Structure 1
Amino acid sequence: MTTAPTWDDLLTTALLGTDRRTLPVDPADLAGREAPAALLDAAAVAAVRRRAGLRPGPAGPRPEPAPAETRPALPPAAAHRLTLLLADRPGGGGGRRGSTPDLTELLPQWLASANTHGYAAPPHMVPALLDAARARTDLRPAALEFAGARALWLARLNPDWRFAQRSASGGTSALPDAEDDEGIRRLWREGLFAERVALLTALRARTPSAARELLAETWAQERAEDRLMFLDSLRAGLTADDEPFLEQSLGDRSRNVRATAAELLSTLPGSALAARMARRAATCVALDHTGSAAAIVVEAPAACDPGMERDGVTARPPAGRGERSWWLGQLVEAAPLDTWPDRLGGRTPEQIVALPVTDDWQGELHAAWCRAAVRQRDARWARALLGAPSAPEAGGPGAVSLADRAKLLAALEADERAAWVAGFIAGHGLSEAFQLLGVCALPWTAPLGRAVVDALDIAREAGSYPWSFSGVMGLAERCLDPAETARLDSLLAVPDEREDASPGAGGYWAEAFQRLATTLRLRAAMVRELTPGGGA
């Protein structure tokens, strides 16, 4: 009796080919069959034999029970709404999509509101939440917060959801207690990179000095890319106490680490680096009294010395930039903005920005001041550089682009920011307002909401090409206060089309306004359903 071939014998023969390796079976068993067919038959028999003869292994340990949920249950109406939001799928997109709201765009707001109320996710909906968060990274923080500890429990059982363990590592629930010094140090030494970042961030929030000391202990052994990420975590709660560590990091072997340390130090007006930059910048910018009126004269640096490089100035400019203007911009950007009133005759930021600048240096100087105002979050200089929202200049007195204006707006309080954008829309319309609207807090304030709706109505009445406003319409659906719904009633009918209007524009505008109104009513319903007692 011939011994049956082993599975490894059959596999090796299949890989090499029956023409190169003799089939490991009794020739009498071939019964006139070709070797390849006989190999497949033998493999089938071996597979059945292996499965039939498999002995059950020992039972594995049962999973630990899911953590008990202590948060209040979601109201029934809100739970039903979440089912609908999770079941919706993104549509095909495009400028014209009918009057049906896009539910996928409402899910982030729903989750944010549910988390504000502190509700717990229904257990049977946690898998759908994890699937949604897996598909959309923008949903992950809010979805994982809402799903809670059960999401992490499930993620350990399904590799498709392992992202939850990485993403949720920023949650303090997975971190050692503040009093557990040994646990903190063990996690810092042995944890994954995401866990170490989460630990550093959490420590930074509750005990800044402890986070800095922990980072200093292993700083020399960390990789350059890790040092950069760890250093960036010091932005939150940055104080003068961090200056010695950052000053030491100016000598780091990584250029990116040095640049980040210099940037952080420049946001501390009282730091030694800020003072050094102020002295350097002041030697380059002064008042010129030789003319009939005061003006600013600029003398850009003639060289980039080692001290400047250590303080974060990049010596080599990008393509198309002159060296001296490149160095000047970096010095002015890093200098405290309080340097300039004293340097320029006690003038206010508005008066300084209004001064003429000789020899075509105005664009470079104002652009650097814009970057400094953003970096230092200086509202006085941001207002001065923004100028009046109705100003005809495309970039304002200091900003060189709408992108710069959007960054400057971030330095203002939310209400002032919204008022400025509303004034800009009233004076310039919506064609250039998309970037500016994106930095406004939601829901939009009443003046900003009215300005947007009025501008859309004006565009419709003018017969403007309607699809060019689809982006603003999408923003309005997410950001317009639902209280503005009543103002849309007069815009829902299909208007008579002008002869010079785009074909079909009237129907599009009516559909778009109908979708906007329907979405706002839906958002209002979502708020009621999530309010305790409001969805009953």
Structure 2
Amino acid sequence: MTGITALTEATVIPWEDLVTAALLGTDRRTPPVRTQDKDAPTALLDAAAVQTVRRRAGLRPAPAATAPEPAADDPRPLVPPAARRRLATLLTDHPGAASGGRRGAVPDLMELLPQWLALANDRGFAAPPELIPALLNAARGRTDLRPQALTFAGPRALWLARLNPDWKFALRSTPGGGVSLPAPEETALVQQLWEEGLFAERVALLGAVRAHEPAAARELLASTWSTERAEDRLMFLDSLRTQLCDADEPFLEQALTDRSRNVRATAAELLSALPSSALAARMAARAASCVAIDHAQGTKSTPTLTVEAPHECDAGMERDGVVPKPPAGRGERSWWLAQLVEAAPLGTWPERLGGRTPAEIVALPVADDWQSELHAAWCRAAVRQRDAVWSRALLGAPSSPDAAGPGAASLAERAKLLAALPAVERADWVAGFIGTHGLSEAFQLLGVCALPWSEPLGRAVVDALNIARDAGSYPWSFSGVMGLAERCLDPAEAVRLDVLTAIPDEPEDASPGAGGYWSEAFQRLVSTLRLRAAMRAELGAAPEDPGVPSCQAT
């Protein structure tokens, strides 16, 4: 009877009150229990014990929850055992932050995870089920891992994400939220999902249809275009970037009259990427009227380019995507000129400027300080139109004394122009640039080179690092390049780098201890390259695998 009485009494005492009294102490907070002949702490603990029993035993049976549907099958083969163990090691590595910029000689395994995932996906392997939770946790904290991690984890990742709120990013990152889409040839199902589906499902569906049947996707979009919200029209219109072609022009021309300024701007940008479009012709005529050859101002062999920027932004220009109001600190006329030149097909200029080649045009002097504005617009046009000839002209020779080049105004622009060149030519150009300007200016340029770096580029980077090492400075100024080298240098270079792992003789003017720090940095580089070679072997990848994407300077 006593136990029943105590249990009945305990039921009227809120658990939060017992916890509060325990945290504050019975001297400061009188326990909400009858102490009788017990001291306050003992009575509080007894009451907590009884309350605990009540909370555990007093739950009423609830209906059994419906068992979740099993995850979809993943037909891909699992990674080999050695690669599975390697992945487990990569996922459990949590390097501590070194002090003073010193990273030590131990490789940073987490930085190798993106490359491991890229190799595994290229080989078509599936993730070991027991490692998918750790993989999702890693991708949760690093957005750069998500595309590769979710591809590798496959349908099981989406199944788990529906059960754990911490992994909902997997559903957001997957087109359609992981919902299976009908095949493009299933016309009735495609039309039904397009008319009735959620926004994410419709975006995914449009992208899938566009990739297989561009015309069908355009017709699908046109069927509901007038009823869509402005923000949805903008997202749907962006899908036309995939396999953009001349057949899209009528639809895009119609979008130029859209109520939304953003939709109009996107339609104009897409049309300007079609050199034979009517908009491209209109922009070419406007831009050409602003730039001319003046033989009077130059010499007979080298005339001068003159620029007459627009004096107004008329309704036709606005309809074709020219933004009338410039950003703060920018003049109206230069702002309008830049937009016209950027949107004009680059093929306009040789005919307009005396049959000269792009390189000859870029080399011409420009009157009245318009050169930087004109060249910057040509750079943006070359990037947008992926024009390798103009990109070469604007890049100039890598050995040019000016690190920015003849046409590009900055290294960031040069990096974008390099992306239009073939991978081998890109690597050779950057290698030549490093040979002339060193590594301090090359970080952004290295980030657009294909992985693994070609032999000339790899040797140029290593030679430049060796020069910096011999100069006696600390390696921390080159930590970004060293990190890129760990991810992008061909693993075969490890043999050549072994000699650099020794502590060098320090010159008299060297920074104290710099030789030891360089030794650690090269030891880490060599160890990382050997780890990458082991990863490739474990996954069955060839020594020089072309299937891995380029590394990024982040």
Q: Same fold (TM over 0.5)?
A: yes
Alpha-carbon RMSD across the aligned residues, in angstroms, is: 3.0
After TM superposition, the structure 1 stretch with the greater mean CA deviation from structure 2, 164-173 or 41-50, is: 41-50
Provide the rounded CA distance (Å) in 2 between the counterparts of 1:323 and 1:244: 31
- Percent identity reads 73
Letter in 2 for 1:132: A
Partner of 1:79: 84
What is the aligned counterpart of 1:336 among 331, 338, 345? Answer: 345
Provide the rounded CA distance (Å) in 1 between the counterparts of 2:277 and 2:296: 35
Q: 1:470 to 1:436 in 2, by over 3 A?
A: same
Partner of 1:516: 525
What is the aligned counterpart of 1:96 among 93, 102, 125? Answer: 102
Provide the rounded CA distance (Å) in 2 between the counterparts of 1:50 and 1:211: 58
Partner of 1:273: 279
Q: Which runs of 5+ in 1 are unaligned?
A: 14-28, 32-40
Equivalent runs, 1:141-156 vs 2, <5 Å: 141-156=147-162
Q: Is the 8 A contact 2:286 2:340 kept in 1?
A: yes
After TM superposition, the structure 1 stretch with the greater mean CA deviation from structure 2, 416-425 or 316-325, is: 316-325
Given the alignment of the two structures, is residue 63 of structure 1 paired with residue 63 of structure 2, yes or no?
no
CA displacement 1:291-345 (0-9 Å, x = unmatched): 3331111111111101101111111111111111111111001000000000000
Partner of 2:42: none
Specify the SS of the correspondent of 2:305: strand
1:57, distance to aligned residue in structure 2 (A): 2.0
Given the alignment of the two structures, is residue 392 of structure 1 paired with residue 406 of structure 2, yes or no?
no
Letter in 2 for 1:119: F
Q: 1:95 to 1:52 in 2, by over 3 A?
A: closer
Q: 1:150 to 1:499 in 2, by over 3 A?
A: same
What is the aligned counterpart of 2:483 among 474, 483, 493? Answer: 474
Specify the SS of the correspondent of 2:101: coil
Q: 1:290 to 1:187 in 2, by over 3 A?
A: same
Q: 1:69 to 1:315 in 2, by over 3 A?
A: closer
Specify the SS of the correspondent of 1:494: coil
Provide the rounded CA distance (Å) in 2 between the counterparts of 1:533 and 1:374: 33
Specify the SS of the correspondent of 2:174: helix
Partner of 1:34: none
Provide the rounded CA distance (Å) in 1 between the counterparts of 2:258 and 2:12: 55
1:469, distance to aligned residue in structure 2 (A): 0.3
Q: Is the 8 A contact 1:172 1:202 kept in 2?
A: no
Using structure 2 for the length normalisation, give the TM-score: 0.86
Using structure 1 for the length normalisation, give the TM-score: 0.89
Specify the SS of the correspondent of 1:174: coil
Partner of 1:120: 126
What is the aligned counterpart of 1:363 among 364, 372, 378? Answer: 372
Q: 1:252 to 1:30 in 2, by over 3 A?
A: farther
Partner of 1:224: 230
Q: 1:8 to 1:165 in 2, by over 3 A?
A: farther
Partner of 1:206: 212
Q: Is the 8 A contact 2:453 2:490 kept in 1?
A: yes
Q: 1:48 to 1:462 in 2, by over 3 A?
A: closer
Partner of 1:259: 265
What is the aligned counterpart of 2:256 among 250, 253, 264? Answer: 250
CA displacement 1:162-201 (0-9 Å, x = unmatched): 2222222369982112233333233333433333222221
After TM superposition, the structure 1 stretch with the greater mean CA deviation from structure 2, 331-340 or 234-243, is: 234-243
1:42, distance to aligned residue in structure 2 (A): 11
After TM superposition, the structure 1 stretch with the greater mean CA deviation from structure 2, 104-113 or 458-467, is: 458-467
1:458, distance to aligned residue in structure 2 (A): 0.8
1:228, distance to aligned residue in structure 2 (A): 1.9
Q: Is the 8 A contact 2:431 2:456 kept in 1?
A: yes
Letter in 2 for 1:101: P
Letter in 1 for 2:368: D
Equivalent runs, 1:309-320 vs 2, <5 Å: 309-320=318-329
4+ runs deviating over 4 angstroms: 7-11, 41-53, 170-173
Count of aligned residue pairs for this structure pair: 514
1:425, distance to aligned residue in structure 2 (A): 0.2
What is the aligned counterpart of 1:530 among 534, 539, 546? Answer: 539
Letter in 2 for 1:277: M
Provide the rounded CA distance (Å) in 1 between the counterparts of 2:105 and 2:54: 62
Q: 1:56 to 1:181 in 2, by over 3 A?
A: farther
1:217, distance to aligned residue in structure 2 (A): 2.4
Partner of 2:187: 181
Partner of 1:417: 426
